[in-house]
Structure 1
Amino acid sequence: MKASDLMVRCLETEGVEFVFGIPGEENLDLLESLAHSRIKLILTRHEQAAGFMAATYGRLTGKAGVCLSTLGPGATNLVTAAAYAQLGAMPMVMITGQKPIKRSKQGQFQIIDVVDMMTPITKSTCQIVSGPSIPARVREAFRQADEERPGATHLELPEDIAAEDVDEQPIPASEVRRPVAEHKAISRAVALLSAARHPLLVIGAGANRKRCARMLRAFVDRQGIPFITTQMGKGVVDENHPLCLGNAAVSDGDFPHRAIEQSDCIVNVGHDVVEKPPFVMKTGARKVIHINYASAEVDPVYFPQVEVVGDIANAMWQMNEALSRQPNWDFDFMHSVCAAMHAHQEEGIFDARFPVTPARLVADIRRVMPSDSVIALDNGVYKIWFARNYNAAVPNSVLLDNALASMGAGLPSAMAAKLVHPDKPVMAICGDGGFMMNSQELETAVRLGLDLVVVILNDSAYGMIKWKQQHMGLTDFGLDFGNPDFVAYAQSYGAHGHRLSATEQLVPLLKQCLASGGVHLVDVPVDYSDNDRVLNREIPERSRALQAAQG
């Protein structure tokens, strides 16, 4: 068989369902092989969107998503998606084409060193230089992409190698069990936690995979220790739980940070250095127990005293078995933090002003989306409001990127989520700036027959940067733009377009869109004037007042 046939058989052996991307001349043998396989090609309108979709597939399934591009400009268009997957710990394998490497007919036309380009933003990258090496190269790319910490890998398949005749067979994956934490490490962690007065659990990005949720929920329920989540740890334990103290969406000064300041022992589960740390350690102050698949990466603000390294779910089970509620634990202040946090979240949820305010927007979307539904957020200031005010009930039901934080990912991520979860309601929530970076994928969504709601938050500006510009007292300059008629734009792709003209229309309109099927775009004018008052002034003032009242 041809080497391209072998390549596709290797992908099938890895369980690949979809290949997202845009083929080029150098991929034609591979394209022909895909045409005769059980793998579905998802043809996108931009390689970056294909990469975002592949990464999101990996995030949701735990198995590497696959994306495809040609050489040169096609490969360079995957760079942002590669960084997105690598920083966000999403397993992804990229396959790019290349001119013949044994005999060049076109000099350096379109040729750049793609392997060298991918080196700093992937776990591994290589050029396949012979057909017989394909099984080993593919198996290794998937192994590295999937194993902890997951990320991006890259394979370059030159067109002359793809056309070679080969006799090799795919290499199946070996059975692997993740190492478990040593008993002595568990004992040290239990001893430190037992001696604490105000322990606290912090759930981070690393806990949002490999089925950690059940063990963490059991630990919280049995031990009664309050918890907070990071942005990428949302939903690992139901954020409606009475012991949830909120999300570390704001950098500092929010109610969860007051609980952190009160705590003398933090159990930090799944900490990932790509996320802004929700606390700053000081020598001699609170103790930190690091529970993760790998040891801690020490920096000036993170140097845990005890490390429990191994499978997170197993470590939490071991600790739960060895620990019991201690009479010296005191959570009175943390319970008051929880009450104050919930009270503050309730403010503004019925605000009738138009354009829609962020608090009302988040509340209305939470009202219409079932607990197991999926929202995919692009990047903008609204991400902070959703991270803070939109309680996630299950893991990976709120897809946000607090790692690379790239604009343009919201719509492709939602499309991938719908492919993975065809029976769940899925909604993309995008700022007008981020949406227009990959808006062409509306055609892809329509062509695929997806049932998808796309909410565009329209303020005709790059709102996040404008808010920060305002907060710094700088000139209002350089961040405003015009938008197309989004209703007509959606309709031009064969989607349904809607425009909100009153705040009270939002809930019934979203319910209608979710119920009627197809791709729906909803243009929602949004008013961000509350950003500075609420996020920069009101939250820190109220949380400080709470702390002062508690002495």
Structure 2
Amino acid sequence: MNTAEVLIRCLENEGVKYIFGIPGEETLELMEAIKNSSIRFITVRHEQGAAFMADVYGRLTGKAGVCLSTLGPGATNLVTGVADANSDGAPLIAITGQVGTERMHLTSHQYLDLVNMFTPITKRSKQVVRPDTVNEIVRIVFKYAEMEKPGACHIDLPCNIAAMEVAGEVAQAPLKHHRENMVYASDDVLRSVAAMISEAKRPVILAGHSAVRNGASDALTKFASTAKIPVVSTMMAKGVIPCDNTYSMWCIGIPQKDYQNYIMEQSDLVIAIGYDVVEYAPARWNPTGDKPIVHIDETPNHINKFYQPIEEVIGNISASLLSLCCMCRRTSDPEWALYIREKMAADHARYDLDKSFPPKPQKILHDIRIVMGEDDILLSDVGAHKMWIARQYHCYHPNTCIISNGFATMGIAVPGAIAAKLLNPEKKVLAVTGDGGFMMNSQELETAYREKIPFVTLVFTDGNYGLIKWKQEERYGDSYAIDFTNPDFVKYAESMHLKGYRIERTEDIIPTLREAFEQDVPSIIECPVDYSANMELSERLKNLKV
């Protein structure tokens, strides 16, 4: 059994079902081993797409998604997706082929020091330098990728090492998994925090992505409902409390000062549950740095001058929250926050019945919500539409709206939707993207067609990089260097044997979405959008009074 075969055997032991990637000369032994394994290899059209598929796979399952490339340019193409997973807390393993060890001291065709290249964007980056270490390396990188805070890890396999025989049963055998003991917060800390919460006049929960990935949604909802505390979620924690729960204040995160910012501003205690500073900069909701904060999570968070918790509750999030349910003494509804919620709900509904064309983003998202079931999955790309999705698309369950807001990478929606549909063939999966982000990885729709993975891609078309235009107009009053032209997206779809649609009346959004979801091939819906709503929102929020 050679090193490549042992590595793939170890991946099977880790529960790997898919590898996303592109074969190369330096991965021939790996590809042969995969061919003879239980793992399904999904050949993509660009390595970045493979990394995004592994990224979203890891985010939805908590188990590391795996992507593979050859050396040099194949590996550099993985970088953005790997960095996205690492920043967003998604477990991912990137495997790269490499030149033989006998060439590494030379200036050599396609050679880069990949271990050092991946080190800043992974939790661990390791090269297999001896055949008898591969089983240890695989177990190490999976352990680190999947433990809190999850992230990306990298294995570099030189082609001569891959072909070498691994001697002995011990070296050939995958390492066993050892279940880690659950860590619980101390009773003293919990009592101290419960007293703070009970005494606070206007406490607010800021819920982050760790609460989602650690399965704390039910406990958080119970705690908020029992203690009568309003909940503001980050973009990456949408749905952690049902949007129709009385205490759900929906999502914070757009650049402007929105209703949720006023809720945070008026609070006298912020209970940060599963919150990571990369999700939404604390300077935006604690600009003076003096807001009392309690940090509840599986791990300590990063500290800066705007995020200095007075108490940290470190341990299983659900257990901590259920304990606090019993300890906190709060009986009054937060009327101040519920009043803001009423005003916010009226604001969000202002374009629900609007029939103007092109439709405003609020109307498009209202109609999407009608078509999508509570458990269906929307994946947002990055652009102006992401801000509107964060603000207007309300979720009933966690992991039903996937937004990259740690690294916030354009081009993630289409490959991410492939992973989401692979995992959830019974659900509707919708990739929502702008025309800028769509063209960065639209080639992966051929992958979806070839692999028989049907989902719908809705493209907001405005012919420019809309989010940057919005920011330029806010700051300078005009825009520069952001315009481009688009292909005919209907013909583009048809050229790949997909279904293509174009929205030509606002009334057509709902029936077109429903028809697209009935297809057994991927579909593209081109939808013009009236982004005059962007500056309208900016001006309205500038004058907002609550």
TM-score, normalising length: structure 1: 0.96
Matching residue within 399, 404, 407 for 2:407: 404
Asked if the contact 1:208/1:396 (under 8 Å) is kept, the reply is yes
Q: Which residue of the partner structure matches residue 175 of structure 1?
A: 179
Asked if the contact 1:281/1:302 (under 8 Å) is kept, the reply is no
Q: Which residue of the partner structure matches residue 127 of structure 1?
A: 127
Matching residue within 434, 438, 441 for 1:438: 441
Q: Which residue of the partner structure matches residue 549 of structure 1?
A: none
> Residues 410-421 of structure 1: matches in 2 within 5 Å?
410-421=413-424
2:518 and 2:305 mapped to 1: Cα distance? 51
Asked if the contact 1:67/1:94 (under 8 Å) is kept, the reply is yes
1:296 and 1:67 mapped to 2: Cα distance? 28
Q: Decide which moves more: 358-367 or 256-265.
A: 256-265
> Residues 314-393 of structure 1: matches in 2 within 5 Å?
314-326=319-331, 329=332, 331-393=334-396
Q: Which amino acid aligns with 2:150?
A: P
Q: Which residue of the partner structure matches residue 293 of structure 1?
A: 298
Q: Which amino acid aligns with 1:226?
A: P
1:472 aligns with 2:451: no
1:227 aligns with 2:231: yes
> Residues 117-266 of structure 1: matches in 2 within 5 Å?
117-166=117-166, 167=168, 168-266=172-270
Cα deviation, residue 404, structure 1: 0.8
1:185 and 1:221 mapped to 2: Cα distance? 22
SS at match of 2:232: strand
Q: Which amino acid aligns with 1:541?
A: N
Q: Structure 1: 5+ residue runs without aligned partners? A: 547-551
2:386 and 2:92 mapped to 1: Cα distance? 24
Cα deviation, residue 330, structure 1: 5.7
Q: Deviations over 1:247-303 (max 9, x none)?
A: 1032352111111122111211011021223511646x5421110122232212111
Q: Which amino acid aligns with 1:257?
A: N
**Percent identity between the aligned chains?**
39
1:279 aligns with 2:281: no
Count matched residues: 540
Asked if the contact 1:246/1:341 (under 8 Å) is kept, the reply is no
Q: Which residue of the partner structure matches residue 14 of structure 1?
A: 14
Cα deviation, residue 33, structure 1: 0.4
2:189 and 2:403 mapped to 1: Cα distance? 33
TM-score, normalising length: structure 2: 0.96
Q: Which residue of the partner structure matches residue 309 of structure 1?
A: 314
Q: Which runs of 4+ in 1 moved over 6 A?
A: none
Asked if the contact 1:51/1:78 (under 8 Å) is kept, the reply is yes
Q: Which amino acid aligns with 1:5?
A: E
Q: Decide which moves more: 45-54 or 231-240.
A: 231-240
Cα deviation, residue 177, structure 1: 2.6
Tell me how large the CA RMSD over aligned residues is: 1.5
1:105 and 1:233 mapped to 2: Cα distance? 47
2:34 and 2:355 mapped to 1: Cα distance? 53
Q: Structure 2: 5+ residue runs without aligned partners? A: none
2:272 and 2:356 mapped to 1: Cα distance? 40
Asked if the contact 1:197/1:330 (under 8 Å) is kept, the reply is no
1:331 and 1:214 mapped to 2: Cα distance? 21
> Residues 513-524 of structure 1: matches in 2 within 5 Å?
513-524=516-527
Cα deviation, residue 172, structure 1: 2.0
Cα deviation, residue 23, structure 1: 1.3
Cα deviation, residue 516, structure 1: 2.9
SS at match of 2:125: strand
> Residues 446-465 of structure 1: matches in 2 within 5 Å?
446-465=449-468
Q: Which amino acid aligns with 1:468?
A: K
1:519 and 1:265 mapped to 2: Cα distance? 47
Q: Deviations over 1:475-520 (max 9, x none)?
A: 4321111111111111111111111111111100101111233211
1:246 and 1:236 mapped to 2: Cα distance? 10
1:332 and 1:142 mapped to 2: Cα distance? 47
2:424 and 2:73 mapped to 1: Cα distance? 32
> Residues 523-542 of structure 1: matches in 2 within 5 Å?
523-534=526-537, 536-542=538-544
SS at match of 1:246: strand
